[in-house]
Amino acid sequence: METEEKLGVFFGCTTAGAPHLLKGLEDFLSKAKIDYVPMGKDLCCGVPLTLAGYHEEAAEYVKKVADKLISTGITKMVTSCPHCYMMFKNEYPEEFGIELPFKVLHFVEFADELLKEGKIKLRNRKDVRILYHDPCGIGRRGPGLYEEPRRVLESCVQVVEADRNRVLGTCCGGGGLLRASLPKLAVAAAKRKIQDDVLPKDADTIVTSCPFCTLNLADGAAEIADKEIKVFDLPQFLAEQMED
């Protein structure tokens, strides 16, 4: 007998703490008529502890997180945060010996599946040009989820590529706790990236698939005085393009 699917959505600290990102993901799920168990609005995956080098504390903490997630009885979990995604998918089993009894997907995989199955409909906005930024966590430092977000975006808008993209894509500047420890340097790196990768392509909208990248790139864009650059996380952008 096939087990009925029970979906969990892990929002994560960054999305939960940014009202516009939280609303974007919730709006997407609502418009797509997705039934889900909300998670991660008041629960961290544990990645800050691992990045800061507190392995023993992380091991104790992630065991408690895993127990809470497992207790919900979900069969699949989706997160829009690459850090949460890589933590649950790789670090839990490989570093902490915790095998989660459910499938873990990043939002780009989930949205790609929904589009293929005809469960979401996006407006034709081919007059809109966006530049897609590849997050490190699901790109060159992760499983290489490059085509999934592009397929979804290309179904409704024009996707412009930076000269450095996919495996050659550069960091937004906020990774590795840099934004937390040296915020001015992180924003300066984001500004430089936009000047080097975005402005030469004459694009005024950046879409990415990482809430952390979204916030840092937005701060970098705000430092560019002579051009307005809009920055969106993928769920937030898709929610605006979806047919009700």
- In whole angstroms, give the CA distance from residue 18 to residue 214: 10
Cβ-based neighbours of 4, under 8 Å, separated by 6 or more: 75
Query: What does R_g of the chain's alpha carbons equal in angstroms?
Result: 18
| Spatial separation of the C-alpha atoms in residues 220 and 142, rounded to whole Å | 24
Reported pTM: 0.95
Could you list the pLDDT tens digit for every one of the 244 residues in the chain? 456 899 999 999 999 999 999 999 999 999 999 999 999 999 999 999 998 899 999 999 999 999 999 999 999 999 999 999 999 999 999 999 999 999 999 999 999 999 999 999 999 888 899 999 999 999 988 899 999 999 999 999 999 999 999 999 999 998 877 888 899 999 999 999 999 999 999 889 999 999 999 999 999 999 998 899 999 999 999 999 997 6
User: In angstroms, rounded to a whole number, what is the distance separating the alpha carbons of residues 149 and 177?
Assistant: 25
The H or E element that residue 240 is part of is helix 234-241
- The 8 Å CB, 24+ separation contacts for 2-6 are 3/75, 4/75, 5/75, 5/76, 6/37, 6/72, 6/73, 6/74, 6/75, 6/76
Per-residue model confidence (pLDDT) at position 175: 80
Domains plus CATH for the chain? Answer: 7-112 (3.40.50), 122-241 (3.40.50)
3-state secondary structure of 235: helix
pLDDT at 152: 97
φ/ψ bin of 12: left (φ > 0), alpha (ψ from -120 to 50), beta (otherwise) = left
pLDDT in the model for residue 120: 94
Q: In what order do the strands lie in the sheet with 205-208?
A: 158-160, 129-133, 205-208, 230-233
- Which H or E run includes 105? strand 103-106
Q: Can you give the pLDDT at residue 2?
A: 56
Residues across the chain: 244
- Per-residue model confidence (pLDDT) at position 3: 67
Q: How would you class 219 by CB atoms within 10 Å of its CB: exposed for 0-12, middle for 13-18, buried for 19 or more? A: buried
Q: Is 104 helix (H, G, I), strand (E, B) or coil?
A: strand
Quote the pLDDT of residue 39.
97
Q: Running DSSP on this structure, what letter comes out for residue 201?
A: G
In sequence order, the 6+-apart residues with CB closer than 8 A to the CB of 20 are 236
